[in-house]
C-alpha cells in the first residue's frame, strides 16, 4: 500500500474552506472600507525579512521564543515576519524622500510566530495593521481610538462589548521610579512584569519581582501604583503629564473613547509612550483582542531621519473569537445568487450567454459543468444556496424566452431573454 502524506495542515496553521473564507472576506471587507474612509492607503511587503530587524526591536519574547528563522544559500539570516511594524518602518525609511508626511497606511499581512497553539494563539495569523507616520500630534492618538471604535462598529459591535484601555510608558516609568522607588535601571524588567500582572496570582508575581531585584516594599508600592487607576495621574509630576499625548486625549472631547489604565504596557520593545489594548468585556471571552502604541523612532534602524509613528495590529484569531462570542459572525455567502440550467446538452452555449448577461448585471451566476437531469440541477441549486434559477428550454429559447423561478417562493415566470436580469433581481429582493 502507498504511504500517503497527512492531509492536516502544519500544527498552528489553518485551512480555510470556502465557507470560512466567505466569512473572512465579509469581515475584512468591512474593515478595509472603514480604513479607506479614514484616508488610509493599503501597502504590503515581503514575508521574508532580515532577522536583525526583529532582533533589534521586537522584544525578547518574539526573538527568543517565537521567531521562525532560516539561513539562505548566501549565508543571510532571514525570518518569516512575526509582525508588520518593523517592515513598514523599513519601507517608510526607504521611501521617506517621496512621501508627504504625515502618512496613513494599512496592510493585512500573514505573520508567523512559534506559539504554543491554544485559544486565541496560532502559529500563522493574519493581522490588520494601521499606522500613522510623521506626526507627534495628540490628534494621532485620537484618530487611532476613533478608528478602533469605527472598525468594531462596522462589524456590529456596540460600546458595551469592548473597552479601549490606554497608558503612557513615560507616565508609568515616572510612577515606577518616583512613586514605587524602583531604580531606573530596572525599568525594562519591571515593564515586563507589569505586562504579566493580570495573568498571574500575587505569590507568583512576588517571586518574579524578587528575581528582578525588587524589595517587598517596592513590590507592594508597585501594586499600589498599578491599582490606582486614573487617580495615579494626580500623583505624577506636572512636567511628565504635560509631555504626554495621552493626558491631552484624556482632557479632550475624545476622552470617552478610552480609559486610562496603568497596567497597560505592551510587550514589544519599540513602544516609547502611548500604548493601548482593546478588550472584550464579555465574561465568556474576557481578554485582550489587539493593541498598539506610539514608537518615537522605529525607522531609526534604517535612516538618520527621525520619523515618529503610531499604530496597531488587529489579529484575525482573537477578532473572530470576539465576533463568535457576541453573535456577530456573518453567515457564509452562498455559492451563487442564481443558477442558469440548460435542459439538454445542446443548450449549454445558450445558458452561458444568459449567465453572461446576469453577471454583467452584478449577479453571482453559475452554470452546470456536467449534464444532469433538471430535477437534480434544481436540487443542487437549492443546496448551493441559490435564490433563483433560470431554466433554458429548447422551445422557449427558440422563441427568445427563458423561465425564471424563485427557489424560496417557487413562483416562476417566462420572460424575454433581455428581461432576465431585472426579473431575477426582483425575485432576489422579494
- Consecutive 10-residue averages of pLDDT for the chain (430 residues): 90 94 98 98 96 76 82 94 91 94 97 85 93 97 98 98 97 95 93 91 94 94 93 95 97 96 86 96 95 88 90 96 97 95 95 97 95 93 95 96 94 96 92
Rounded to 10 degrees, the C-alpha dihedral 241/246/247/250 comes to -170
Residue with cell 474612509: 37
Instruction: Check residue 43 and give its pLDDT.
Output: 97
Q: Write out the H or E segment, with its range, that includes residue 422.
A: helix 420-429
The strand ranges marked E within 93-195 are 103-107, 110-112, 124-133, 162-168
Q: Is residue 193 classed as helix, strand or coil in its secondary structure? A: helix
d(C-alpha 114, C-alpha 336), whole Å:
38
Q: Considering only the top CATH level, what class is 18-325?
A: alpha beta
Contact 138, 257 (CB under 8 A): no
Domain-wise residue ranges, the chain:
18-325, 338-429
User: What phi and psi values does residue 127 have, to the nearest 5 degrees?
Assistant: -140, 125
Cell of 371: 449534464
User: What phi and psi values does residue 309 have, to the nearest 5 degrees?
Assistant: -150, 165
Instruction: Check residue 117 and give its pLDDT.
Output: 78
Number of other CB atoms surrounding residue 28 within 10 Å:
17
Instruction: Check residue 184 and give its pLDDT.
Output: 93
- Alpha helices, DSSP H, located in 326-373: 348-360
Instruction: Check residue 54 and give its pLDDT.
Output: 87
Q: Write out the H or E segment, with its range, that includes residue 50.
A: strand 48-50
Question: From the CA atom positions of the chain, what is the Rg in Å?
Answer: 28
Contact 295, 270 (CB under 8 A): yes
Which of 280, 253, 318 is closest to 160 using CA atoms?
A: 280
Instruction: Check residue 246 and give its pLDDT.
Output: 98
d(C-alpha 350, C-alpha 370), whole Å:
15
Which of 398, 395, 397, 335 is closest to 367 using CA atoms?
A: 335
Residues 311, 317, 318, 323, CA torsion sign: positive
Q: Write out the H or E segment, with its range, that includes residue 427.
A: helix 420-429
Residue 55 C-alpha from the chain's centroid: 24
The strand ranges marked E within 257-408 are 259-260, 274-280, 287-295, 309-315, 338-342, 365-366, 388-392, 401-406
Residue range 338-429 in CATH 3.40.50.2000: no
Q: Is residue 174 classed as helix, strand or coil in its secondary structure? A: helix
Q: What is the pTM of this model?
A: 0.91
Instruction: Check residue 63 and give its pLDDT.
Output: 72
Amino acid at each position: 500500500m502507498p504511504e500517503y502524506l497527512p492531509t492536516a495542515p502544519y500544527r498552528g496553521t489553518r485551512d480555510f474552506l470556502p465557507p470560512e473564507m466567505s466569512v473572512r472576506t465579509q469581515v475584512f471587507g468591512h474593515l478595509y472600507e472603514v480604513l479607506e474612509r479614514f484616508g488610509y492607503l493599503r501597502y504590503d511587503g515581503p514575508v521574508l525579512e532580515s532577522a536583525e530587524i526583529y532582533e533589534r526591536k521586537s522584544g525578547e519574547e518574539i526573538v527568543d521564543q517565537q521567531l521562525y528563522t532560516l539561513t539562505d544559500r548566501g549565508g543571510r539570516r532571514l525570518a518569516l515576519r512575526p509582525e508588520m511594524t518593523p517592515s513598514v518602518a523599513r519601507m517608510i525609511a526607504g521611501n521617506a524622500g517621496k512621501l508627504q508626511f504625515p502618512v496613513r497606511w494599512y496592510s493585512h499581512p500573514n505573520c508567523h510566530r512559534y506559539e504554543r497553539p491554544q485559544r486565541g494563539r496560532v502559529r500563522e495569523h493574519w493581522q490588520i495593521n494601521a499606522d500613522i507616520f510623521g506626526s507627534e500630534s495628540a490628534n494621532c492618538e485620537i484618530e487611532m481610538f476613533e478608528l478602533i471604535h469605527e472598525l468594531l462598529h462596522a462589524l456590529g459591535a456596540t460600546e458595551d462589548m469592548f473597552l479601549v484601555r490606554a497608558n503612557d510608558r513615560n507616565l508609568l516609568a515616572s510612577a515606577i521610579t518616583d512613586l514605587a522607588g524602583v531604580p531606573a535601571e530596572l525599568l525594562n524588567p519591571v515593564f515586563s512584569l507589569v505586562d504579566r500582572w493580570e495573568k498571574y496570582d500575587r505569590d507568583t508575581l512576588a517571586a518574579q519581582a524578587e528575581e528582578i531585584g525588587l524589595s517587598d516594599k517596592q513590590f507592594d508600592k508597585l501594586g499600589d501604583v498599578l491599582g490606582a487607576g486614573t487617580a495615579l495621574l494626580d500623583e505624577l509630576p506636572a512636567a511628565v503629564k504635560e509631555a504626554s499625548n495621552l493626558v491631552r486625549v484624556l482632557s479632550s472631547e475624545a476622552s470617552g473613547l478610552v480609559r486610562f489604565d496603568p497596567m497597560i504596557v505592551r510587550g514589544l520593545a519599540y513602544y516609547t509612550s502611548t500604548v493601548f489594548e482593546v478588550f472584550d468585556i464579555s465574561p465568556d471571552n474576557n481578554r485582550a483582542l489587539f493593541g498598539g502604541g506610539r514608537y518615537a523612532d522605529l525607522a531609526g534602524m534604517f535612516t538618520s531621519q527621525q520619523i515618529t509613528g503610531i499604530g496597531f495590529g488587529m489579529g484575525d484569531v482573537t477578532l473572530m473569537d470576539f465576533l463568535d462570542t457576541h453573535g456577530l459572525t456573518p453567515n457564509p455567502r452562498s455559492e451563487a445568487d442564481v443558477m442558469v440550467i440548460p435542459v439538454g446538452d445542446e443548450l449549454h452555449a445558450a445558458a452561458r450567454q444568459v449567465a453572461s448577461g446576469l453577471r454583467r448585471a452584478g449577479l453571482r451566476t453559475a452554470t452546470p459543468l456536467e449534464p444532469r437531469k433538471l430535477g437534480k440541477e434544481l436540487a443542487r441549486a437549492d443546496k448551493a444556496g441559490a435564490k433563483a434559477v433560470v431554466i433554458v428550454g429548447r422551445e422557449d429559447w427558440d422563441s427568445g424566452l427563458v423561465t425564471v423561478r424563485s427557489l424560496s417562493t417557487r413562483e416562476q415566470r417566462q420572460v424575454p431573454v433581455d428581461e432576465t436580469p431585472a426579473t431575477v433581481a426582483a425575485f432576489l429582493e422579494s
